[in-house]
Amino acid sequence: MAHLSLKNVGKTYGGSNQAAVAGVDIEIADGEFIVLVGPSGCGKSTLLRMVAGLETVTDGEIRIGDRVVNQLDPAERDIAMVFQNYALYPHMSVRDNMAYGLKNRKTPKAEIEARVAEAARMLELGPYLDRKPRALSGGQRQRVAMGRAIVRQPAAFLFDEPLSNLDAKLRVTMRMEIRRLQKRLGTTSLYVTHDQLEAMTLADRLVVLNGGRVEQIGAPLEVYRKPASTFVAAFIGSPAMSLLDARFENGQVMVDGHALAPVGNAPGPVTLGLRAEDLRITSTGVPMRVDYVEELGAHRIVHGAIGDQPVAVVDNGGAALAETVHVLVDPAKLHLFETSTGRRMDTRIQAEAVPAQ
């Protein structure tokens, strides 16, 4: 096990003036589980591959433990990687797939057998050790790929969207399995996903990437409750945070002529962020047009608009719905962002909810 350190890491491909990754600084503690999350093309897989040694580093420095690894081959970095497509040898049994890397390193046979047996026990693969990958389900194949990484006993695990090929129910099961194993083994882990729910449930800390740059680093709930930018606000959370054009007037934040809440004044337009669970459907408040409703069993999501601006509300109480309802927001849970930059504003918000005037 070891800590990972990325200092001003960047990647620019030949012939391109635009960096795929730029100025990334991350310190990952020994045993920490870090998730790189962001949309396709944000640079998360490129960054992971640079740590693995599968991509050259254009700028900056990567350390694994006390070693700078920029110039080291993947085999010299003491890492184990789990890929999206399993990368199993189809002609080998589960046992041989898991043991292959150890055999290449001339590990004693007795130690190989002991490590494979222990990994198979942890992953419940004992009955399948003599099967070929084609005789396994997708979830079982992914467990074999994880087992192959576990037997290596590396300084760090690297996961490149390992659950993308699984169905939704199996992804939930495998998320729990990966987190349980990582906690048990205590191995430093760097995990890539575009699925923000997967990121929220797995991570000790999230690294949210956008256009090759870090937008925010923090614990999942910290990032969710206090997003640093409109990009993070819209990307983290389901349903996404509603982002509305707003302005200040007489100490109130106004949306389409409606006063939502008392706040401190600030010049110019602002972007107002509203989490769906922080809005309540009430008999008084700001009018909201109802467009459609998602019935999800334990709760429902009411989609509509304040003026012409889309808004979503989580309703747990079965409020009566009509073409127009009224919503109230807790002022302490408003999110304000600079319209010009998208960055979070530190504006003092009073403690009482105020309905529309």
DSSP string, 166-217: S-HHHHHHHHHHHHHHHHHHT-EEEEEES-HHHHHHH-SEEEEEETTEEEEE
Give the C-alpha separation, 149 to 296, whole Å. 38
187 and 304 housed in the same domain: no
Asked if residue 262 lies in contact with residue 278, where contact means CB atoms within 8 angstroms, the answer is: no
140 and 269 housed in the same domain: no
Q: Output phi, psi for 269, to 5 deg.
A: -75, 155
194 and 64 housed in the same domain: yes
Start-end of H helices in 58-108? 94-104
112 and 198 housed in the same domain: yes
Q: Output phi, psi for 326, to 5 deg.
A: -120, 140
Domain boundary among 231, 261, 289: 231
Only one residue has tokens 């391109």, namely 16
Give the C-alpha separation, 22 to 8, whole Å. 7
In tens digits, the chain (357 residues) has pLDDT values of: 689 999 999 999 987 778 899 999 999 999 999 999 999 999 999 999 999 999 999 999 999 999 999 999 998 999 999 988 888 999 999 999 999 989 988 999 999 999 999 999 989 899 999 999 999 998 899 889 999 999 999 999 999 998 888 888 888 888 888 898 899 899 999 999 999 889 999 999 999 999 999 999 999 999 999 999 999 999 999 899 999 999 888 778 888 888 887 776 666 788 999 999 999 998 888 999 999 999 988 889 999 999 899 999 999 877 778 899 999 888 888 899 999 999 998 754 443 444 433
pTM of structure:
0.89
174 and 211 housed in the same domain: yes
Domain boundary among 171, 206, 231: 231
Asked if residue 288 lies in contact with residue 306, where contact means CB atoms within 8 angstroms, the answer is: yes
Which two tokens mark 264?
């401190």
- Structural domain that includes position 312: 239-338
Cα 22 to its chain centre, rounded Å, is 19
85 and 204 housed in the same domain: yes
Say how many domains are in the chain.
2
